A and B are shown apart, each in its own frame.
Chain A
Amino acid sequence: MNLNRLAISLIELNPENPADLEEFKKNLLSCYNNTQGRIQNILKEACFEADAMVDQVPELQRNIIARLGVLLEQAMGSDETDISATTEQTSQVEPAREPDSIDVQHVMLSADLDADLLNEFIIENMEWATMAESAILDWEQNPGNQELLNTIFRGFHTIKGTSAFVNLDCVKDLAHQVESVLAKVRDGEHVFTRSYANLALKSLDVIKSILEQMKSSGPGQQIELPRGYQGLLESLRNFVPDEQVQEMAIPAEESMVEPEAAAPAYTKTNRGKIAKKEGEASSEQSASSNKIREQMTESTVRVKVDRLDKLLDTVGELVIAQTMVGQDNLIVSGKYHELNKKISQAGKIVRELHDLSMFLRMVPLKGTFQKMVRLTRDLSLKHGKMVSCITEGDDIEIDRNMVDMVADPLIHLIRNAVDHGIEFPEERRRAGKSENGRIYLTAGHAEGSIMLTVWDDGRGMNRQTIVNKAIQKGLIDSAERMTDQEVWQMIFLPGFSTAEKVTEVSGRGVGMDVVKQAVEALRGRIEVQTTEGQGCTFIMRMPLTMAITDGMIVKVGSQRYILPTANIHKAVRPQEPDIHTVNQRAEMLSFRDEMVPVIRLYRFFDIPDSLTDLTSGLLVVIGEGKQRCALFVDELLGQTQVVTKLLGKGMNNVPGIAGGAIMGDGTVGLILDASGIVSIARQQTNTTT
C-alpha cells in the first residue's frame, strides 16, 4: 500500500462505517511501518489523528479527514528526493525505488550531427519549452481552456518530434510520456488537477536543463542527465491522478463537499460532459490558434547578435557623420540654401534610422514576467500559502542587455513578498482578507523611463520594528524626526539586511540593499510604499536602454567630460560663505543644511589649465547619502545623449571613468563614474592626511 493509494482510500472512506475506518487505520499503520525519517513522523501524527476519529461526531470526523489529507500531502511532499521543490505531489512514493534516481546518467550526443543543426534544435526547442511553460501556468488558472491545452500539446509534440530527429531519446521519451499523461485530460478521461501541471512543469525543467547542457557541448560529446530524470520518467509512466487528495488538501472548506462529488464513480459522467462541451468549442478554437501561430512565425526573423551590434554601431557612426556634415562651415555659413535643405532632409532620415535601429535591441518583458509567475507558484506551494501573481504590461519592451539584469531584483522582491509579505491563509482570514494572496507585477512607461511595480496585499511593514532594528544596528539614534518614507528607505541600507530577526517579525529586509544595488546598476531608482496590514509596493524606475546615457558635458580646463544626469542632484555657483575649510586643506560646501565635501576634479585628474577659484566655477553635487560630494568643474557646456562604449582593452578599469562616447564632433568624450571618483577621493584624503 503506497501513500497515493492510501490517500485515495481516504477519499473513499465513509467515516460512519466502523469497518472502513478500521481498514484505513490498518493501512495507515502498515504504511507507517514501511517508511522512515520525516515521512514516518508525519504518518505517526496521522495515526494519532485517525485513532482520535473513531468516537467523534460526524462533523469533527470530517475535520479530521481534512487534516489527514493535509498530513498525507506533506508525507508525499517530503518523500520527494528530487532537488526541485516543484514536484512535491508528483512522486509515486515507494521509497525503496527512489535512490536509483540519484545515479548520474550520461547520454551520448550522436556524432554525425551537424553542429549548426544541433544549435538550431536547441534554440527552437527552448522556445517551444518556454511557450509550453507559459501555457501550463495559464492553464492552471483556466483548466477548461482547450486552446491552452492544445498549445501545451503542440509544444511537447514538437519537442518530441525534433528530439527523435536528432536521436535524443532521453528528451523524446520524456516528452512522449508527458503527452500521453496529458492526453487523458484532453480526452476527458481525467479532470485537470494541479498535479498534472506540476508534472508537466517538472518535465519542462528537465528538458530545459538537458538543452542547456547541450549548448555547452557538441556532437559526439557526452551530456549528463539531470538528477531525478529516471524518477520523473517513472512517475510519468505510473501516473495516477490524485486530484481528490489535491482538492482536499489545498482549499480546506471545499474538501467538505468534494469527497462524495469527486469519488470516481460519480464524476465520470460529469467529466464526460465537460469534455464534450470543450470538444465542441475546441474545433474552432484550435483553428484560430493555428492562425496565431502562423502569424508568429511569419513576423520574426532570427538575427545573430554580433550582426545586430555591428548594424547599430554603423548607424551610430552615420548619425555622427551626418552631424559633422551639418556643422561644416560651408553649411553653417548659410550661403547655399538648396544644399542646406538637402542636408537637413538627409538628417531627418538618418535620425529616423537611428530610432528604428534602437528598437531592434528591444525585447518584451514577457519572458521575465513569466519566470516570476512560475517562481510565485513554486514558492507558494512550498510555503503552503496561496499566492497568485498577476502581471500587467508584459508587452513593454526593454533593452535586450537589460532583461537579465531586471530579473534579479524582481526575483528578490517576489521571494520576499511570498516569504514574508503574504500571510498564511488562516492569518489572512483572521485579518478579514481573502485567503488567496495576490502579487501584482506591472510594467509601464513613465516620463521616458520604464516603471516596474511589485505590489503585494500582505501584512506590510511595521514602522516601530524597523526603527528599533535601525537603532539597535546603530544606523540611527532616534526616529522622532523621520517621516514614514524615510523609515521605509532604511530597509535599503546595507547594514540592515543581516538582521534576520526583523525578517521574521516585520517580514521585510532580506537583502534589500542587493535589490537597490541591482536597480542602481541599471541607472534606476527604487521606492517603497507600505501600509501596515495592507501590503507593500515597490516601485522601480529605470531607463529604457542602457545603451544611451543622458549626460551633462562639463568643462575642466581644456578637457570635456560627460557626467551622467542620473548622478547629478544640483549644480551651484558657490558664494564665499557657502565654502568652509577644514585644517585649511579639505573644503566643504553647505548644501541644503548639509556639509558636502568638495572634490576638485582638475586636481584629481591632474589637469593644469583649469580654474582654481571655487567661486568662479561650478560645484556639481553628486551621489547619495554618505557618498554625496560636490565636484568642482569650470562650467557646464550643455546636455547630450551618448552611447556608452568601452575604452579598449587594458583601459576599462581607469578609476573615475565609466567609459567613452563618441561626441558630436567625432572625438571621444570620457564618461565620469561618479561613485568611483568619490571613493577614490576618500582614499586619497585618508592617505595624505
Chain B
Amino acid sequence: MNNANAVKNDQSANADSRAGKYLTFFLASEEYGVEILKVQEIIGRMPITPVPLTSRYIRGVINLRGKIHPIMDLKIKFGMEETQITDETCIIVIKTTSMMMGILVDKVSEVINIASGDIEDTPSFGGDVNPEYLLGVGKTGGRVRLLLDIEKVITASDIINMKKAAAGEGKDAMAEL
C-alpha cells in the first residue's frame, strides 16, 4: 500500500508539471500544443521582413508595437514543407524568460485543459524525428495533440547561417565561370 502510494505520488508529481492549459494549433494536418502561460498573444498574418544570412526556418522579423521580433517557421524547423501564408495563418508570440519570438502556424485551434492522466510520454521514433522538442502526447476527446517544449524549440542557437552566404556566393561565382 505504502509502496503503491509512493509510486502514484511520484507519477502525479511528474505529470503535474505537464498538466494544464494548452493552446493548440495545426501544422499541416498535425495538431500541436504549447503551454498557455508561454503564449504572449496571437496575431493575424502581417508583413514579415526576411533577414538574409539566417537559417531557413527564420522567416524574418515583424514589428509588434514598436518592438522587433523574429519569426520562426515551425514547419521548416520540423523538417516539413515551408508554410504557405493563407487567411488562416497565424503568428503565436511566445514569451520565455530569456526571449520573445513568434512562431508561424497554419491554423490556431483551441485552448484546452489537459489532465495529467491524459498525457503520455513521447514514444521513441528513431530516425529523423527529434523527440527532445516534445513534452509528451496529449489525448483528449479522441484527438492526439503533440505537446511542444517550446522553450527548447526556440532557443536553438543556430539562427545565423554563415555557410549559406558563403555557399551562395561561391555557387554564383562558379556559375559565372
Residues of A within 8 A of B (CB): 313-314, 316-317, 320, 559, 584-585, 603-607, 645-651, 653-657, 660, 662, 666-670, 680, 684, 687-688
For A313, list chain B residues within 8 Å (CB). Answer: 66-67
For A655, list chain B residues within 8 Å (CB). Answer: 53, 160, 162, 165
Contact of B63 among A607, A653, A667, A688 (CB under 8 A): A667
Q: Smallest CB–CB gap between A457 and chain B, Å? A: 49
The 7 nearest A-B residue pairs measured at CB: A605-B52, A649-B99, A668-B49, A317-B66, A606-B168, A648-B70, A650-B159
Q: Give the total number of A-B pairs whose CB atoms are below 8 A apart.
A: 111
Residues of B within 8 A of A (CB): 47, 49-54, 58, 60-63, 65-70, 98-101, 155, 157, 159-160, 162, 164-166, 168-170, 172-173, 176-177
Q: Smallest CB–CB gap between B158 and chain A, Å? A: 9
CA distance in complex: A559, B67 (Å): 20
Q: Are B49 and A648 in contact (CB under 8 A)?
A: no
Q: Are A660 and B68 in contact (CB under 8 A)?
A: yes
Q: Are B169 and A688 in contact (CB under 8 A)?
A: yes
Q: What would 11 more interface pairs be, CB under 8 Å, given A647-B51, A650-B159, A668-B60? A: A607-B52, A645-B68, A648-B69, A650-B157, A651-B51, A654-B52, A654-B53, A655-B165, A668-B63, A684-B165, A688-B169
Q: Are B170 and A670 in contact (CB under 8 A)?
A: no
**From A559, which residue of chain B is reached at the shortest CB distance?**
B50
Task: Evaluate whether A650 and B99 lie within 8 angstroms (CB atoms) in the complex, with A662-B63, A666-B63, A687-B170 already known.
Answer: yes
Q: Are B50 and A604 in contact (CB under 8 A)?
A: no
CA distance in complex: A117, B49 (Å): 46
Q: Are B99 and A653 in contact (CB under 8 A)?
A: no
Contact of B61 among A585, A606, A648 (CB under 8 A): A648
Q: Smallest CB–CB gap between B149 and chain A, Å? A: 17
CA distance in complex: A272, B32 (Å): 89
Q: Are B66 and A584 in contact (CB under 8 A)?
A: no
Contact of B54 among A314, A651, A668 (CB under 8 A): A651
**14 A-B residue contacts at CB 8 Å?**
A559-B50, A584-B177, A603-B172, A604-B168, A606-B52, A648-B70, A648-B99, A648-B100, A648-B101, A649-B99, A651-B159, A655-B160, A656-B53, A657-B52
Q: Are A668 and B159 in contact (CB under 8 A)?
A: no
CA distance in complex: A645, B62 (Å): 12
CA distance in complex: A662, B65 (Å): 10
Q: Smallest CB–CB gap between B110 and chain A, Å? A: 28
Q: Are B160 and A646 in contact (CB under 8 A)?
A: no
Contact of A688 among B49, B66, B160, B173 (CB under 8 A): B173
For B67, list chain A residues within 8 Å (CB). Answer: 313, 645
Among A313, A317, A653, A654: residue with most chain B CB under 10 A: A654
For B53, list chain A residues within 8 Å (CB). Answer: 605-606, 654-657
For B166, list chain A residues within 8 Å (CB). Answer: 684, 687-688
For B49, list chain A residues within 8 Å (CB). Answer: 660, 667-670
Q: Are B66 and A647 in contact (CB under 8 A)?
A: no
CA distance in complex: A687, B67 (Å): 37
Q: Are A651 and B61 in contact (CB under 8 A)?
A: yes
Task: Evaluate whether A648 and B68 lie within 8 angstroms (CB atoms) in the complex, with A585-B173, A667-B47 already known.
Answer: yes
For B101, list chain A residues within 8 Å (CB). Answer: 648-649
Q: Smallest CB–CB gap between A309 and chain B, Å? A: 11
Q: Are A688 and B52 in contact (CB under 8 A)?
A: no
**From B60, which residue of chain A is reached at the shortest CB distance?**
A668
Task: Evaluate whether A585 and B177 lie within 8 angstroms (CB atoms) in the complex, with A654-B160, A655-B53 already known.
Answer: yes
Q: Are B168 and A668 in contact (CB under 8 A)?
A: no
**From B173, which residue of chain A is reached at the shortest CB distance?**
A688
Contact of B160 among A314, A317, A320, A653 (CB under 8 A): A653
CA distance in complex: A605, B50 (Å): 10
Q: Are A654 and B173 in contact (CB under 8 A)?
A: no
Contact of B66 among A585, A648, A653, A662 (CB under 8 A): A662
